[in-house]
Each structure stands twice: as structure tokens, then as C-alpha cells.
Structure 1
Amino acid sequence: MLIDKRVTEFVEELGSNSPAPGGGSAAALAGSLGAALSLMVCNFTEGKLKFSSVQEEIVQIKEKGISLKNRLLEYVDLDTDAFNEVMKAYKLPKETEAEKAHRSEKIQEATIQATLLPLKVAEACVEVLKLSIRVLTIGNPNTACDASVSGVTAYAGFQGAIFNVKINLGSIKDEEFLQDIKARIIELQAVADKTYYLILDKAKEVIG
């Protein structure tokens, strides 16, 4: 599994001439790093008398952050798996009309799955962004830099995931599916952009 590799090993594989892992797995990893940094802020805030008024929310954020971190780590490998399934479908035989039809069907199925996976990454990254702005606002100010990096890293993960969704759309024939995905992209982009700029503004206010 990719997530079981040493950091240096993963980075080297990412930079190799192998088509996977690629941008999708990197986006998921970025999102998980963002979630982990929000958890760091929670750990420096939880149990501190100075922040007694926000303890309940910090605990809730921490629980959600752990779930998001773990989910995004799973997506690192699942994204590569989804890409490999697309490549496998393209390698199916296409000598007869029946084989061509079967191959086309499998390509469509695999491409749809390879679109839905990064969409899940994008959705998770939006949730991390929401945690980032909250911990930057209510968390221990000594970790304001970490909270800010949580946000910008999660946004990078989000945007990377959206690129990976969009790159597949031109190959999909199901019009209803395409319209649903495009509408979801617009919805997610609006929330992500708004939260990201809130994070930048708050970081400027707190850090300078």
C-alpha cells in the first residue's frame, strides 16, 4: 500500500515514470495532512483552562478530524486503484464487435468510478477546510500557523481532486451523470473558495 511507504519512497514513486500514483493520490494525501494539522491544533487546545469555553467544540472537531484524516489516507491508495482499473479496461481485447462492446462498457464503468473517487476526496477536503477555519478562530493562537497551513494544504488537496474529476468528464457518455457531477463541482467550489479566503483573511489578522 502507498500509505505504508516511507515518505521518501512515496515521493520517489510519485516522481517516477509510472502513471500511478499521480495527482489524485497526491491530492488525497494533501487533504489528510490538512486534517492532521487541524488535529494538532486541537491537541494544543484540548484540556487547557485558558480555552475552557471551546472545549466541547474542540473535542467534536477532533473526532471529525480523525475520521477525515483516516478517510483521506484510504483515498490515497483507492485513487491509484481506480486509475489502474481504467488502464485495465483499455487493455481489454477489441477484435470482435462483442469484445469492443464489452471493452467500451468496462471503460465507461471504470472511468465513472475514477471520477467519483476524487469527488469524494474533494468533498472530504471541503470538510477539512471547515475544520481549519474553526481551529484557526478558536484554537490555541500559538498554533495559528499550523491551523493556516491546514487550510491551504486542504485547499490544494481540494483543487487537485477537482482537476482529477474534470479530466475524466470528456470520456463519459452518461449525460445525466455528467450534469450531476458538474453541478456538484460548482457547489463544492463555491464553498471551498469562500472558506479558503476566510482562512487567508484570518491568518493575516492573527499572524500578520
Structure 2
Amino acid sequence: MLIDLPVHEFIQDMKSDSPAPGGGSASALAGALSAALGIMVTNLTTGNTQYAGVEKRIRELRTELESVLKDLERYVDEDTFAFNDVMAAYKLPKEGDEEKAIRRDRIQSSMKTAAELPLLVAGSCLRALTAAVELLRIGNSNAASDAAVSGRLAYAALWGAVYNVRINLGSIKDAEFNRDKRAQITALLKKGEELTLELSRLADEKMP
């Protein structure tokens, strides 16, 4: 499993001439790092009498981020699995009409999965970004830079995931599927941009 590799070994795999792991797994990992940083901020805030008034909310954010982290760690590998399934579909035999039809259907099915997986990554990254903004607002001010980095990582990972959805949609012939996924992308990016603007404003306020 990629997620179980030492950091250096993961990086070596990423820089190889193999197309997987690639941008999708990298985006999931960046999102996971964002969630982990956010959790760190919650841990640096809870138990501090200065932040007793937000203790309950901070604990809720930690629970939310633990869920996000668990999902994104899983997606690091699942994105690569989805890509490998697409490659396997393209290698199916295509001698007669029946084989061509089976191959075509398998390609389309695997491409849809390969588009849906990074969309899940994007959704999780938006959750991490949402939490980061709130943590920057109410969390331990000594960890303001960590909350800000968490948010920036989440936004970058969100965009990375979106790019991976888009490239797969280009090969999918189902028009309704394409419209639905593109609408979801638009909504995610709109919310992500709004949150990032707020993150930037808060960061400037906390760290002038």
C-alpha cells in the first residue's frame, strides 16, 4: 500500500517513469497532510484555559478532521487502483465485434470510476479547508501558521483533484454523467475560492 510506505520511498515511486502513483494520489496525500495539520492545531488548542470557551467546538473539528484524514489516506491508494483499472481495460483484446464492445464498455466504466474517485478527494479537501478556516479563526493563535498552511494545502489538493476529474471526463461519452460531474466541480471550486479568500484575510489579521 502506498500510504504505508516511508516518505522517501513514496517520493521515489512518485518520481519514477511509471504513470502511477501520479497527480491523483499526490492530491489525496496533500489533502491528508492538510487534515493532519488541522488535527495538530486542535491538539494544541484543547486543554488550554485561554481557549476554554471553544473547547467543545475544537473537539468537534478534531473528530471531523480525523474522518477526513481516514478517507484521504484511503484515497491515496484507491486513486492509483482506479488508474490501473483503466489501463487494464485498454489492454483487453479487441479482435471481434464482441470483444470490442466488451472492451469499450469496460473502458467507459473504469473511466467513470477514475473520475468519481478524485471528486471524492476534492470533497474531502473542501472539508479540510473548511475546518482550517475555522481553526484559524478560533484555534490557538500560536498555531495560526499551521492552520493557514493546512488551508492552503487543502485548496491546492482540491484543485489537483479537480484536474484529475477533468482529464478523465474528456474520455467519457456519457453526456449526462459529464454534466453532473462538471456541475459538482463548479460548486466545489466556488466554495473553495470563497473559503480561501477568508483564510487569506484571517491569516493577514493573525500574522500581519
Normalising to structure 2: TM-score of the pair? 0.99
Whole-angstrom distance in 1 between the partners of 2:92 and 2:24: 24
Once the two structures are superposed, residues 84-142 of structure 1 have per-residue CA deviations (whole angstroms, 9 ceiling, x without a partner) of 00000000000111000000000000000000000000000000000000000000000
SS in 1 for 2:45: coil
The aligned residue for residue 19 of structure 2 is: 19
The aligned residue for residue 193 of structure 2 is: 193
Whole-angstrom distance in 2 between the partners of 1:128 and 1:167: 24
The aligned residue for residue 151 of structure 1 is: 151
Whole-angstrom distance in 2 between the partners of 1:199 and 1:34: 14
1:25-174 residue pairs with structure 2 within 5 A?
25-174=25-174
Whole-angstrom distance in 1 between the partners of 2:84 and 2:201: 40
Residue type of the partner of 1:54?
Answer: V
Structure 2 gap segments, 5+ residues each: none
Q: Give the Å deviation of 1:38.
A: 0.6
The aligned residue for residue 3 of structure 2 is: 3
Whole-angstrom distance in 2 between the partners of 1:5 and 1:59: 30
Q: Give the Å deviation of 1:170.
A: 1.3
Whole-angstrom distance in 1 between the partners of 2:100 and 2:162: 30
Whole-angstrom distance in 2 between the partners of 1:207 and 1:154: 20
Residue type of the partner of 1:141?
Answer: S
Structure 1 gap segments, 5+ residues each: none
Residue type of the partner of 2:207?
Answer: I
Q: Give the Å deviation of 1:200.
A: 1.2
The aligned residue for residue 205 of structure 2 is: 205
Q: Give the Å deviation of 1:14.
A: 0.3
Residue type of the partner of 2:84?
Answer: N
Residue type of the partner of 2:140?
Answer: N
Count of aligned residue pairs for this structure pair: 208
RMSD over aligned Cα, in angstroms? 0.5
Whole-angstrom distance in 2 between the partners of 1:137 and 1:98: 59
Whole-angstrom distance in 2 between the partners of 1:37 and 1:28: 14
SS in 1 for 2:94: coil
